[in-house]
Structure 1
Amino acid sequence: MTSEPLRLGILGLGIMGERLMRAALAHDGTQVTAIWDPGPAAVARLASITPDIMMSADAASVIAASDAVYIASPPASHIALGQQVLTAGRALFLEKPLASDLVAARGFVAGARGQRAAVNFPMASSPAIAQLRAWLPEIGPLQRIEITAAFAAWPRGWQQGAAAWLSERAEGGFTREVVSHFLFLAQRLGGPLRLAQARVSYPPGTGSETAIAARLSAGDVPVSISGGVGITLADDHNITRIQGSKGAIRLRHWSFAEKLAADGTWHAAPDALPNEKMRPLTLGGQLEKLAALTRGHAVDLATLEEALSVQEIVEGILAA
């Protein structure tokens, strides 16, 4: 691989855009070349993070200045911006979901086949997921996967700046924003996703879901999902249990890989870290792979097809 840093452009400086930008600024192999966000608050946010980058005038100038472009804007803008990136011959790194319109997402994925594009499902580079994979031979053939996600409120406290769309049924909700990550993991572990049954509860008006329950499969592995708002005091409580014929492992709170001992207690991997400390490592891994993808190498970042499969299940649950 060349020693030249990856020239990374970012479209959208909300929570996710800022996270990847901070990771890129600390990453030797990445140079943040340009950023654009039309929101007035984003200019002040960018200035508070680094004085070395000025807000660009528009998306086109970011694309022109970059080798790869990360799109972290709200879902309704993803496809139009993604098409601009690919038309310009740049590598695309897209935030999930692919779009707010499932039909449009299908068309976009079909038209982008063979191009340099990936979706930011960080579990593709998570040390915790690598640890779970290392344990898989010990637990025997997979028998089931159980996903639970609970929230004190939605959006979560740190997401209030994006509440205008995260709290709405059209684009937001915890199933799209959170459960999708664990569906991606189930798909990677078991195989193609197929939805069998789902229930969803909505509040009056246009608000996003307050509870879900679903049964599906990942390949031949049964998967169950339950999630809800207002059922825990925690900002975010999630556990994905992976049951095998000889034992069980789980992912807890995004970053703790744990194994079930013979006495019925769970034990974390020795190098387990809380999510806020693991996140920079995970995003650094994502950036390494994005650089390799941009240079034409095969990587295991989430593909557009994988992201579309997850979105099909998510939208199927939400339409139940």
Structure 2
Amino acid sequence: MTNKSVAIGIIGAGIMGERLLNAILQQDPALIRACGIWDPSPDAMRRMERTFPDVPRLPDAAAVTAASECVYVASPPASHLGHARAALAAGKNFFGEKPLSVDVTDARAFVAEAGNRGAVNFPFASSFAVAALRDWLGKGEIGTPRRIDIEVGFRIWPRPWQADAVAWLDRPQQGGFTREVVSHFLFLARRLVGPLHGLSGQASFPEAGKSERHIAATLRAGDLPVTLSGAVGAMTKDDHNVWTLEGDRGAVRLCDWSIAERRLPDGSWQPAPDAMPNERARPLALKRQLEGVARLARGEAHHLATLEEALNVQEIVEGILAG
């Protein structure tokens, strides 16, 4: 393929659609450009007109697909695979939000038919903090890896900045923090250690019609045991998470999305020299994600989360929720 600018069309003008569109507009247009956006909500489209007046607002999803070389799907989860299949049928590539789907059987069928023409937006694939973890592991900082611990917690769910999506984000059919947040840390375990398997877990749904409020699970990433816990209402911070990899000579961890730390011999934790809060780290990771999208659209090797990785994460997530 040529190195001309890659046209990205966006289906879904919610938080993630707007976030990625803004990131595209900050990229070099010789690499990647926004060719249009569509959302079924008239209010969302009016917001796009006010915020991004120069980006074409297209009449439907089919028009986005027709205009694109790669279709970015940021609609609610149950609609992801319908848009993804339409993109592939039109000869386009697909880059989508997680989860891949909420139907594991359908997701398996899609991955089997899609080949290498899609990827999923797990930004840890482009994270500088994750690169620091990988570097420490490569240097043998922790010795032989022994186990992974994942802990997530929220003051309320959805988080305050997600309030506009509460209609689906706090419903058991498509929403919940396990799909939206825990999936990122499961992806991290899979990417750094190995395939996820051997799940034993459960979720608690104490409020009728609402998404889960507690989860607890054990599984394995490759040969390593993984323990996972998550809860809503157990802390004062809106969003807190810690992913820890313990070894026989030390440990490394990722805190609050973007702070990589290693444990020193005295037991204290030392941040990576370039550690930064997520508000600063997120745009840098999105830039690298979009560089990967351009490579995906050109048929080149990329570092993005593959469909197989996303499917493995989804299998574990849906297994926890079903338990």
Fold agreement, TM-score > 0.5: yes
The farther-off stretch of 126-135 and 293-302 is 293-302
| CA distance in structure 2 between the aligned counterparts of 1:141 and 1:2, rounded to whole angstroms | 44
Aligned position for 2:309: 306
Question: Partner of 2:130 in structure 1?
Answer: 129
| Residue 79 (structure 1) shift | 1.0
Count of residue pairs brought into register by the alignment: 319
Q: Deviations over 1:169-191 (max 9, x none)?
A: 11100000000000000011221
Partner of 2:56: 54
1:81 equivalent in structure 2: 83
Matches within 5 A, 1:141-180: 141-180=144-183
The code of the aligned residue for 2:132 comes to: Q
Instruction: Tell me the distance in 2 between the aligned counterparts of 1:308 and 1:247.
Output: 31
Q: Which whole-Å CA distance do the structure 1 matches of 2:282 and 2:254 have between them?
A: 15
Pair 1:270-2:273 in alignment: yes
Give distance in 1, aligned partners of 2:248 and 2:71.
Answer: 43
Q: How does 1:95-110 map to 2 (within 5 A)?
A: 95-110=97-112
- Please tell me whether residue 16 in structure 1 is matched to residue 16 in structure 2: yes
CA shift, 1:58, in A, is: 0.7
User: What is the aligned partner in structure 1 of residue 231 from structure 2?
Assistant: 228
CA contact (8 A) 2:71 2:87 kept: yes
Instruction: Tell whether the 8 Å contact from 1:149 to 1:179 is kept in structure 2 after alignment.
Output: yes
Distance 1:277 1:10 in 2: 24
- How far the C-alpha of 1:4 sits from its partner, in A, is 2.2
Amino acid at match of 1:122: P
2:46 is aligned with 1:44: yes
Runs of 4+ that moved beyond 4 A = none
Q: Aligned pair in 2 of structure 1 residues 272, 48: CA closer, same or farther (>3 Å)?
A: farther
CA contact under 8 A between 2:243 and 2:255: conserved in structure 1? yes
DSSP-derived class of the 1:57 partner: coil
* Alpha-carbon distance between aligned partners in 1 of 2:199 and 2:82, rounded to the nearest angstrom: 32
Query: Following the alignment from structure 2 to structure 1, what is the Cα–Cα distance between the partners of residues 151 and 50?
Result: 37
Q: What is the distance in 2 between the residues matched to 1:244 and 1:184?
A: 20
- 3-state SS in 2 of match to 1:139: coil
Q: Which amino acid aligns with 2:287?
A: G
Write the deviation string for residues 120-146 of structure 1: whole angstroms up to 9, x where unpaired: 111111111011100002212210010
Take 1:30 and 1:300, find their aligned partners in 2: how far apart are those partners?
Answer: 17
TM normalised by structure 1 equals 0.97
Instruction: Report the 3-state secondary structure (helix = DSSP H, G, I; strand = E; otherwise coil) of the residue aligned with 2:191.
Output: helix
1:257: which partner in 2? 260
- Mapped to 2, the partners of 1:58 and 1:183 lie a distance apart of 34
Map 1:19-30 → 2, pairs under 5 A = 19-28=19-28, 29-30=31-32
Structure 1 stretch displaced more, 194-203 or 83-92: 194-203
SS of the aligned residue for 2:151 comes to strand
Structure 1 residue 195, shift from structure 2 partner: 3.2
8 Å Cα contact 2:199/2:319 also seen in 1: no
SS in 2 for 1:239: strand
Give the structure 2 partner of residue 116 of structure 1.
117
| CA distance in structure 2 between the aligned counterparts of 1:150 and 1:253, rounded to whole angstroms | 10
Assess if the C-alpha contact under 8 Å between 1:195 and 1:313 holds in 2.
Answer: no
TM-score (norm 2): 0.96
Matched, 1:65 2:67: yes
Letter in 2 for 1:121: F
Match for residue 195 of structure 1?
198
Mapped to 1, the partners of 2:279 and 2:49 lie a distance apart of 23
- CA RMSD, Structure 1 to Structure 2 (Å): 1.2
Q: Which residue identity does 2:107 align to in structure 1? A: A
Specify whether residues 170 and 133 from structure 1 end up closer, same or farther in structure 2 by C-alpha distance, changes over 3 A only: same
Deviation at 1:269, TM superposition (A): 1.0
- The one-letter code matched in structure 1 to 2:36 is A
